[in-house]
Amino acid sequence: MVNPYLNYGSKTYLMCILNVTPDSFSGDGLLAQKEVIQSALEQATRFVDAGATILDIGGESTRPGAGVVSATEEMDRILPVIEAIIDLKLEVLLSVDTYKASVAEASLHSGVHWINDIWGLCADEAMAKVVAQANVPIVLMHNRSQAGKVILKEKLGSQYLGPEYGNFLDEVKRDLLALVAHAAEAGIRHEQIILDPGVGFGKSVTQNLELVNHLDEIKALGYPVLLGPSRKSFIGYTLDLPPEDRLEGTAAVCAIGIARGADILRVHDVEAMAQVARMSDALVRTAITPK
């Protein structure tokens, strides 16, 4: 059985994105493919061969302005993909990107190892109990995004407008610790928790840049840190580039993120980011030696 608990600090781990949606902002939604299951299996195999430790499977787009998908439809999308990947017996952890307790529970019963909740257990009051009972790792993400506060540019895509903050970094840290406290009250252990500062969710371009550059302050809270900058709008708005041209910008953010303490990178471009992670690890992690 795959151990769902990783050896944080030894290396940077890659969480690779499998979007079982028709409307991913990055254009990689698998439901746009004729053979969804086969496409998912090919993508999963390629990701693992390139160095993925976790596959993050999502059935509802989290791009700014995306519509809500029912729990039933979300399960119809992802469960066949989960079961098919499990049948491949790949050496990889499976994560489900969902904020719905019923979807999480069904996915765990199918063999998933992690839950990745963009609302940090706050969108569905039953989610914390599901995670606690399953005793699995949970990604708690900081998220102050508001559905009505989205701007759209034809070339650059959509982004959330940043809400009002007093001291931005202090409030993000305080919010994350509140999520941790809520998880602990539900019986979720310290070892299960991974923090995601929520780059791209309810933050301005400037705030996203500040957050990445001060990721060490999130790391200092005492939990593994997941960073998910891949192809996001703050990179596009900084460089004036559409999602398909944000590889180099993503690489720069990932490298700085690792230097500031990121333990996990959530990415689309696995082959390239695996090299970024290996090189960055060789520079900042003294235990890493070149092959």
User: 76: Cβ–Cβ under 8 A, 6 or more apart, which residues?
Assistant: none
The CB-side HSE value for 33 (13 A sphere, CA atoms) comes to 19
Q: Which residues are catalytic?
A: 232, 266
> Across-strand partners of 264?
13, 226
Beta strand 93-97 pairing with 193-196? unpaired
Q: What are phi and psi of 54, to 5 degrees?
A: -130, 135
Helices (H), ranges, 9-126: 36-50, 71-88, 101-110
Outline where the chain has alpha helix (H).
36-50, 71-88, 101-110, 127-134, 168-185, 205-213, 215-219, 233-239, 247-259, 270-284
Q: Which residue has the tokens 């698998």?
A: 30
CB-CB contact of 104 with 128 (8 Å): no
Query: What CA–CA distance (Å, rounded) separates 60 from 115?
Result: 14
Torsion of CA 159, 164, 169, 171, to 10 degrees: -120
Residues 6 or more apart from 121 whose CB is under 8 A from it? Answer: 127, 128, 131, 138, 140, 179, 182, 183, 186
Q: Which of 142, 164, 157, 168 is nearest to 245 (CA)?
A: 157
